[in-house]
Structure formats: structure tokens, C-alpha cells
A and B are shown apart, each in its own frame.
Chain A
Amino acid sequence: QKEVEQNSGPLSVPEGAIASLNCTYSDRGSQSFFWYRQYSGKSPELIMFIYSNGDKEDGRFTAQLNKASQYVSLLIRDSQPSDSATYLCAPYSGYSTLTFGKGTMLLVSP
């Protein structure tokens, strides 16, 4: 059974702050990691993926991966109220399917 653990939150941060979202996974065969954002009542959308240890930056988003510790995180700099959503972590082991965590709800207050 592949386990993906995320703090359900809500994680509350003020506008302009850095939001840090964490994810741990059990499957050591996981090769790449996907972060999806899901607004309330909407479908998930891909915002970041990472497959190498270290950091990957895309605009205000930075994904961090440590395969030895089985840990992946998503940092959102200069958080905006429009970033308020649930963020789903999904490791991929190369067998056609993703395993999604339960997600962390982020609330950014103006």
C-alpha cells in the first residue's frame, strides 16, 4: 500500500508571507512528484512537478525534493488570497497511475 501523508490543515498565512506545504511518501520507487492545486468545488490542476533531488523554481512556486528522506515540499512565496486552495501531492512510480495525498488546505488572509 502506497502511503502519501500531508497535513490536512488549514494552513493559515498572511498575504505576502511564504507558505510551506509538506508531503511524505512511503514508496521508495517513486521517481517524480506532482503538485496539484484544487480550488473549492473545482477540479485539480497541475502546478508543479519535480523529479531530481533539490529545488525547482517556477515563478512564486518552489518544489523541494529529498528522496533519501522521502520528503517533498512546495513553497509559495509572496502568498496571495488567490492561492487559497487545497494542494495535493502525488508521487509517481512509473506504472501509469498517481497516488494522491489527502491534500493540505491553504488559507491566505488579506
Chain B
Amino acid sequence: NAGVTQTPKFRILKIGQSMTLQCTQDMNHNYMYWYRQDPGMGLKLIYYSVGAGITDKGEVPNGYNVSRSTTEDFPLRLELAAPSQTSVYFCAGGLAGAAYNEQFFGPGTRLTVL
């Protein structure tokens, strides 16, 4: 099992460009998450999904969009990139219940917007 994979590993965008960060998991997890992590900061939740066809906003959703057409894939779309979106983006898949939430993280995508 590859776990959670993300592509690309690195990307430089110009202001105003758009791109999609890809995330795929092969663990059959219903729950998937997108986070961003700025230097010296914790993980901020952007969007999450509890199953195919269901997505919801996290703490910092502005400037991003997601879709979840299959259990395996959870792409994150950046429209009109801004320097404030320079960050490391982590995708995670997980198991969640009433008292348990274990998340498995992908290797991350380092994005720079210039």
C-alpha cells in the first residue's frame, strides 16, 4: 500500500495562476483532509470530506475548492493564486468515530506563489 500520495512535491506559481494539488489514498478511508502549514505554525484545516460526494469547509477555505468524486481522490484547487497561499500543503486520510480520529498524512506539497 502506498498510503496517501500527493503530487506535485514542489511548485512555483505566479500570482493569478491556478493549479490543482492531487491527493490519492489507497487505504479505503472515508475521511480525507487538506491542511496548510506555514513556517512555525500548526496545521490549519482547509477542507475535509467524510465520503465521496460530501465536502465541508474547514478553518481557512477562502481561495480554495475541493471535490470528492471517488473514495480514493481528493484534489485541492487553487484559483487565482496569491502570495498568502505560499505554504506547505498536506493531505490526510483517516478513520474517525465518536472518540477516535487517526489521520495518515501524505508527504506534502511545497507551494510558492511569486
> Which residues of A does B touch, CB under 8 Å?
4, 8, 31-32, 34, 42-46, 49, 51, 88, 92, 94, 96-103
Q: Is the CB of B100 within 8 A of A43?
A: no
Q: Is the CB of A94 within 8 A of B42?
A: no
CB distance from A74 to the nearest CB of B (A): 15
B50 at the interface (CB under 8 A from A): yes
* Residue of A with least CB distance to B33: A97
CB distance from A39 to the nearest CB of B (A): 12
CB distance from A8 to the nearest CB of B (A): 7
**Complex contacts, A31 vs chain B, CB 8 Å:** 98-99
**Complex contacts, A94 vs chain B, CB 8 Å:** 97-99
* Residue of B with least CB distance to A6: B42
Q: Is the CB of B102 within 8 A of A100?
A: no
B2 at the interface (CB under 8 A from A): no
**Complex contacts, A34 vs chain B, CB 8 Å:** 101-102
Report the bound CA distance from A51 to B102 in whole Å. 13
B105 at the interface (CB under 8 A from A): yes
Report the bound CA distance from A59 to B107 in whole Å. 26
Cβ-neighbour of A43 out of B33, B99, B101, B108 (below 8 A)? B108
Cβ-neighbour of A96 out of B43, B48, B90, B106 (below 8 A)? B48
Cβ-neighbour of A32 out of B33, B45, B99, B107 (below 8 A)? B99
Q: Is the CB of A92 within 8 A of B90?
A: no
**Complex contacts, B106 vs chain A, CB 8 Å:** 43
Q: Is the CB of B42 within 8 A of A100?
A: yes
A51-B42 CB under 8 A given contacts A44-B105, A45-B105, A97-B33: no
